[in-house]
Amino acid sequence: MNLDREAFIDKTKKDYKRFISKENKEGLEEWWRETFNQAAKTGKKEHEVLLLSESGPKNHQRYFSEYLRKINFSESAKGLDAGCGIGSFAFLLEQKGIEVFGVDFSEEMIALVKKNPKSKNIDFRIANVCNLPFKDSFFDIVICMSTFQSILYSEKALKELKRVLKKKGLIIITTLNKSAINFWFKRNDPFLRNPYRFKSLMEQQGFSDFKLRGIYSFPSRFDFLTDLILKHKIFNFLNLFFPFFRIFSSSFYIEAIKK
């Protein structure tokens, strides 16, 4: 990592701490948009662009692929990646053989993903998750991966995601788990979500048939643990146990159906 990159990361962390300590957090989403614009310009690798640990993107994509593996769609199905970033999950969704759209509020992220040769069959657009440029009941599946930690009003975002989703359509959301052991000293961060409170919020917005699961991530030097969990489907066993899932899953995966 070069000095400019280190300075950018350090400034981002300090700015974020100042933001979450403020009583009035208006402007947070605009700050995130500018931050991701800058990250898209300075990052050289996927995890740098997304402001994640080196192993983070790969692990999340592997869990998503595994959880998505048993879900089938019709050939005419449409999917939306809301908060698509550089398109990693949109590309995985396209492998299911459906028409895929991706939106992100960062114009630099969209410019970056459009340069990817894999993007030629995906409609990527600049848009905010809380104000989507699609008609009602347009999609069969909506995914929103690691986006809610940059959203100020969860209810507004969920309402909009529900609007564009067809009745009985599938929604998949991942976000940071406030209850995880690695966030115990960040409990005052209002943009970390408790998985069970978030599930209750989704119920209030008209979703049902929930599946709540864990995403168990480890530093790069312990990739063999992730391999072990995925290869032997140990995550299915771990997800059965509330205390283990709640404490050791840094992010949670929630799947639901629109009533």
Domain-embedded: residue 13: no
Residue 190 lies in a domain: yes
Upper half-sphere CA count for residue 88 (Cβ side, 13 Å): 19
Structural domain includes residue 98: yes
Q: For residue 128, give the CATH number of its domain.
A: 3.40.50.150
Asked if the structure places residue 8 within a domain, the reply is no
Average pLDDT, the chain: 83
Tens digits of residue pLDDT in 67-99: 888 888 988 999 999 999 999 999 999 999 999
pLDDT of 121-174, one tens digit each? 999 999 999 999 999 999 999 999 999 988 988 999 999 999 999 999 999 999
Q: What's the confidence (pLDDT) of residue 62?
A: 79
Residue in the block written with tokens 């962390």: 13
Q: Quick check: 142 and 90 in contact, CB under 8 A?
A: no
CA 210 – CA 254 distance, rounded (Å)? 7
pTM greater than 0.75: yes
Residues in the chain: 259
Give mean pLDDT, residues 184-197.
77
Please check whether residue 248 is in contact with residue 181, taking contact to mean a CB–CB distance below 8 angstroms: yes
In a domain? residue 7: no
Which of 35-44, 179-188, 191-200 shows the highest mean pLDDT?
191-200
**Is 15 inside any structural domain?**
no
Q: Is 48 part of a structural domain of the chain?
A: no
What is the rounded average pLDDT of the residues 199-225?
Answer: 80
- Residue 61 predicted with pLDDT over 90: no
In a domain, residue 10? The reply is no
- Give residue 222's domain range: 53-258
**Number of domains, the chain:** 1
The two tokens of residue 143 are 């995914």
Cα separation, 73 vs 244, whole angstroms: 32
